Amino acid sequence: MIRNAVALLVVLAFAGSLHADEIIYYVKKGTKREIASHGNVTVTAWSANKVDFRGADGKTGSVSALDVISVNRNYGTMSNDLQRAIEKVGSDPDAAKADLQRLTGTGNELDKEEALYWLALVNVNDANAGGNVQPALTALGNYLRAKKGGFFAREAYRLTADLQRRTKKIADARTTLGAMISADPALAREGNQLLGELEYGEKRYAEAIRAFQNAKAQATRDGNKNFEYLAVAWEGTALVANNNAAGARQLLEPIVSDEAFDDPIGFDDEIALAVAYPALGDAYYATSQFEKAYDAYVKAGYYVWWVQGANEGYCIGQAYLCARKLEGKGDVWKKRRDKLRNVLALGFPRELQRVDKEK
């Protein structure tokens, strides 16, 4: 279960030296996180809550699933048959499906669960390539019925809701995320976060705000500031959309001014800021605080670019609008206006068309 690019590099670095199972995970060091590993262990059980293992010395332990970056069983408890089936996923997906289907009923419990999950992934890949969505939904449903609180359930619920949302089955997606929230406390935070984003997309802002508040409470319970601030940033975004700019500023200003908010390993902090800054810019813009809005939009453009978000052009366009409204204050604003217009013309022509229509 790879969570980010840094984690992938760590897994690749360790992969050649594995002789049993390997668990790569985050560990807290004060207010920061570091990457650690349990090597030469045997994974004995796993779930959405934790991964249990036994060391070579016979001692047992566990790692919270929320801290797990990856579990590599290729050189340990994973059967050769499952390894070969997974290797076929990219080169011969039909053969992989047949092998994985067979393996859902044989081997140890970890293999059975992983076979179910990989079978769902192959069908999701087909759906993403333009194929029929229903086999993917069926395979994901089979996994979740067997392992509603399983190790791969977090991703299975998300993929199911994504496919349902894509095919305009919004009520089904809402039901899926509700099931995720109730399946296991370890899944509740992400389930509420995804539900809030779903409701926001449907312009059901009150429902979105409630879901984000629940996600924040659960992230605070887990001691995860990245996810806490992500939920708050989205709540602020929903408040702006619901015509409550003052309430949004009250939530968002503490996030962007928290100098201790930094994750040196992952990108979760940047992701939260990439949500917070555009919303804060919108909150300032709505109350004609154009200088503050300009600063927020410029920073928003940087963070959105950094995390490869989809609204970089919007942030630049809004910064341009702010500079245009402030151009009467001096040449510095005229120069900023002209530079931003050039950026829009070169990289975001549709956004330029949009802002040219604004008064």
DSSP 3-state assignment of 167? Answer: coil
pLDDT band at 14 (very low <50, low <70, confident <90, very high): very low
Q: Per-residue pLDDT for 270 more than 60? A: yes
| Rg for the chain, CA atoms, rounded | 23
* DSSP secondary structure code for residue 184 in this structure: -
pLDDT in tens, 154-171: 999 999 999 999 999 999
Q: What is the pLDDT of residue 3?
A: 44
* Rounded Cα distance, 153 and 140, in Å: 9
Mean pLDDT calculated for residue range 62-72: 95
pLDDT in tens, 211-254: 999 999 999 998 899 999 999 999 999 999 999 999 999 999 99
Q: What is the pLDDT of residue 19?
A: 56
**Apex 311 CA angle, 306 and 313, nearest 5:** 95
pLDDT band at 28 (very low <50, low <70, confident <90, very high): confident
Mean pLDDT calculated for residue range 43-56: 96
pLDDT band at 29 (very low <50, low <70, confident <90, very high): confident
Residues 6+ apart with CB under 8 A from 141: 160
Q: What is the pLDDT of residue 301?
A: 97
Mean pLDDT calculated for residue range 318-325: 97
Worst-scoring range by mean pLDDT, 16-30, 64-78, 297-311?
16-30
Task: Give the containing element (helix H, strand E) for 66.
Answer: none
Mean pLDDT calculated for residue range 303-310: 95
pLDDT in tens, 130-140: 989 999 999 99
* Rounded Cα distance, 4 and 327, in Å: 42
* Proportion of the chain above pLDDT 70, given as a percent: 94
* Rounded Cα distance, 236 and 246, in Å: 10
Q: Which residue has the tokens 């049993």?
A: 20
pLDDT in tens, 282-301: 999 999 999 999 999 999 99
Q: CB–CB of 15/2 below 8 Å?
A: no
Q: Per-residue pLDDT for 42 more than 90? A: yes
Q: Per-residue pLDDT for 262 more than 90? A: no
Q: What is the pLDDT of residue 131?
A: 87
* Rounded Cα distance, 227 and 232, in Å: 9
* Rounded Cα distance, 239 and 287, in Å: 14
Worst-scoring range by mean pLDDT, 88-92, 219-223, 259-263?
259-263
Q: Per-residue pLDDT for 336 more than 50? A: yes
